Amino acid sequence: MKLRSALLLVPATLALAAALLAPATAGGATARPGHAPTTLRELAKQQHIKIGSAVDVAALAAEADYRRVLNREFNSITAENAMKWESIEPQRGVFDWSGADAIVANARRNHQAIRGHTLAWHNQLPTWITDNEANFTAAELRGILRRHVMTEAGRYRGQIRAWDVLNEAVADGGGLRDTIWLRKLGPGYIADLFRWAHQADPHAKLYYNDYNLESDQAKFDTMFQVVTDLLEDGVPIHGVGFQGHLDIQFSFPDFAGHMKRITDLGLEVAITEADVRMFLPVTDEKLATQASYYSQMMSACIANRRCTEYTVWGYTDRHSWVPGFFEGQGAACLLDENLAPKPAYDALLALGGKRT
């Protein structure tokens, strides 16, 4: 997503390690054929998709109610910040895997798939990279990037269902985004990333991930050309992630049509970071619109057999990134600050049944 560089990972603590050793309280709920699902995990089983949430590692450590709902409701998780480069290698050659390892351990204990996020991005890079861009030769920076991809993807080899290999490399309005990677390495870095990731973990699905692909036609067209070129060159790419950060003040965009163009290439698609923000205060009318948007995103995924995943970018307003980056807006998640379900949660459960 955009503008998350200030969302710094809070390091995992001993409390998290203790929590992970405690007996699991969730487990995978069993879907009941012919019955309406009572949890999102049941809905996921009925629809044969992954339904996930981004995970706040500090909340996972400190909040038992947060852990309980996370593990009850979701059969897939994404590390919100703990797998980003600034979190795992804040100093060159000095690694901190505690947050990422804790999230992986929790997922494995609770039978959840894991989405890796993200191997390469222009934001949330460690300062030892951003402050020294002018000092790196292209060959040196390429080596640094390759080592990072091989190290992180290799550490979790066989444990990650899908990696967001490259995040937000296309500019708003089309064209490749002006990033340190493009400036120093040229556009060939994109193919290199996917080849390295596949070498490090040949079992993981490899995705390009971005926001506004459903609404910014020029941006989508650039992404589509990039992906098409990768396929023609035999580069191992398996899918495209549509982040799904929506705002109820705008009309619902064309997820179904744009997703179909990708799946017609033989690729997977996923909704990877869904939330639906609104200007505060909350009203019943706004909540109804929000519920419709969440439901329409899920319906677009269910209707496309190559849509593998529907992940929300945090499931509770208690830990949403939205208020910190959109002035006057919030209430973007499925559950409120007290973990009470909102109409959007019920709207998703109403989609229970066999996938058509």
User: Which stretches of the chain drop beneath a pLDDT of 50?
Assistant: 1-33
- Which of the residues 73, 168, 214, 268 is marked catalytic? 168
d(C-alpha 55, C-alpha 264), whole Å:
31
CA distance 2 to 218: 18
Question: For residue 35, what pLDDT is reported?
Answer: 79
Query: Can you give the length of the chain in residues?
Result: 356
Q: How far apart are CA 356 and CA 353, in angstroms?
A: 9
Q: What are the backbone dihedrals phi and psi of residue 23, each rounded to the nearest 5 degrees, phi first?
A: -60, 140
- Does residue 80 carry a catalytic annotation? no
- Cβ pair 303, 297 in contact under 8 A: no
Domain residues of the chain, as ranges? 14-349
- pLDDT, one tens digit per residue, over 197-220 is 999 999 999 999 999 999 999 999
Is 152 tagged catalytic?
Answer: no
Alpha-carbon gap, residue 328 to 280, rounded angstroms? 6
How many secondary structure helices (H) and strands (E) does the chain include?
A: 14, 10
Considering 80, 152, 273, 309, which one is annotated as catalytic? 273
8 Å CB contact between 4 and 123: yes
Distance CA 173, CA 165 (A): 22
DSSP string, 51-89: EEEEE-HHHHHH-HHHHHHHHHH-SEEEESSTTSHHHH-
Instruction: Give the C-alpha distances (Å, rounded to integers) separating 268 from 96, 300, 325.
Output: 32, 13, 30
| Residue closest to 249 by CA, chosen among 290, 296, 297, 291 | 290
Cα–Cα distances (Å) from 96 to 12, 102, 264, 290, in that order, read 10, 11, 40, 38
Q: Domain 14-349 falls in which CATH fold?
A: TIM Barrel (3.20.20)
